[in-house]
Amino acid sequence: MAEKRDYYEVLGVSRDVSADDLKKAYRKLAVKFHPDKNPGDKTAEDKFKEVGEAYDILSDDQKRAAYDRYGHAAFAGGMGGPSGGGGGFHDPFDIFREVFSGAGGGGGGIFESFFGGGGGGGGRQQRRDGPQRGSDLRYGLEIPLEDAARGCEREIEYERLNSCKTCTGSGSTSGGGKKTCRTCGGVGQVISSRGFFQIQQTCPDCNGAGEVISDPCKVCSGTGRSKERTKIRVKIPAGIEDGSRLRSGGNGDYGSKGGPAGDLYIVVQIRQHDIFEREGDDLHCQMPLSFATAALGGETTVPTLEGKANLKVPAGTQNGTTFRLRGKGIKTLGEERHGDLYVHVQIAVPTKLSAEQRAHLVAFSESFGETPSSAMEESFFEKAKKFFK
């Protein structure tokens, strides 16, 4: 198995990266390597999973602290890392407690392995063939801003490990081809002597299960699980933010030996809009306004996510003026209130004029006795004189 890369290196960030910059780096890479954008590209798929695993650890303060101190070793042996299925953080020192005292108090610590202790068990641990929880999965879903604002439903299709239909999850072609492992006698552990010491190890033939399958299923190779395409409908709540994760319980990989299935996490990415920029629950847009309307005042229409809205423009509106339309922003997640829409005015100056239009504009300018902007220019240059001394 290839050695795992440093999680900070995977995301291309420094070790002191902030939570916001971490999220930005993750989003960029998740979009780049998303399977939907790289169909059939196994390298991109692997990188997508690697990026997701790195972000899952570094975005959690406790997991990140453990990783910074112990590296990948902090999540080895099912200690709650991305592949452990534990779903939470465990004390990294637990691994030492288990080594010296035996996991769960059931014997099998390092001293018992060497000296054959264990209260009548001859130094042999109980076989580890209990139910195992399936792995959690991650799915990236891109939606437009309109759907994020209103809420929506989406049908998604993804690949997961499910119970093998050929052998109904037994791993055996006949459905009952399990027999006690001869190597370990069904206990899942073997003991070998090294002179004075005895070393206890997981049985290499049954991998600690204590049983072997005599007629393994050809579809799942005796694992009881096989990959299949799955479709589910996902409800996206109104007001969801970019980068949010939705949990679909039990829709991850199917558990082994009757264990529960993992969960599916849908990471929502909101597509950039052509007109609006989102800031929390508020929206911002740049709206061109004709010179005549800005000077004389009037009424114009502005776009919103629900359609058009009327906006009264006072006479003498200046370039860069911002108008606020209350309640025309994004619905607040889990609440009934909405954010606001901020319209930033940009005066549209015509680039081409006919001779008649130019003559009228010159006459208009001369009627002031000065250019309309000269008073403003004089004020500006008075303030700027100190830079030219």
Annotated binding-site members for Zn(2+): 164, 167, 181, 184, 203, 206, 217, 220
Distance set, CA 132 to CA 51, 212, 287 (Å): 25, 17, 57
DSSP string, 217-257: -TTTTTSSEEEEEEEEEEEEPTTPPTT-EEEETT-SSPPBT
Residue 338 near residue 328, CB atoms below 8 Å: yes
The token duo for 352 is 């081409």
User: 191, 123 in Cβ contact below 8 A?
Assistant: yes
DSSP 332: P
Interacting residues of 306 by C-beta distance below 8 A, sequence separation 6+: 328
3-state DSSP assignment of residue 143: strand
Tokens 């006919």 map to which residue?
354
| Number of Cβ atoms within 10 Å of the Cβ of 68 | 13
What's the first-to-final CA gap in the chain, in angstroms? 71
Contact 77, 63 (CB under 8 A): no
> Running DSSP on this structure, what letter comes out for residue 132?
B
Binding site listing: 164, 167, 181, 184, 203, 206, 217, 220
Name the residue with tokens 């699980």. 225
Q: Cβ contacts of residue 204 below 8 Å, gap of 6+?
A: 183, 190
DSSP reduced 3-state for 95: helix
Pairing of strands 307-313, 298-304: antiparallel
Total residue count of the chain as it appears in this document? 389
Q: Which residues of 202-219 are buried (b: 16+ CB within 10 A; e: fewer)?
A: bbeebebbbbbbeebbee
Joined together, the tokens standing for residue 389 give: 């001394």
Cα distance between residue 186 and residue 350, in whole Å: 87
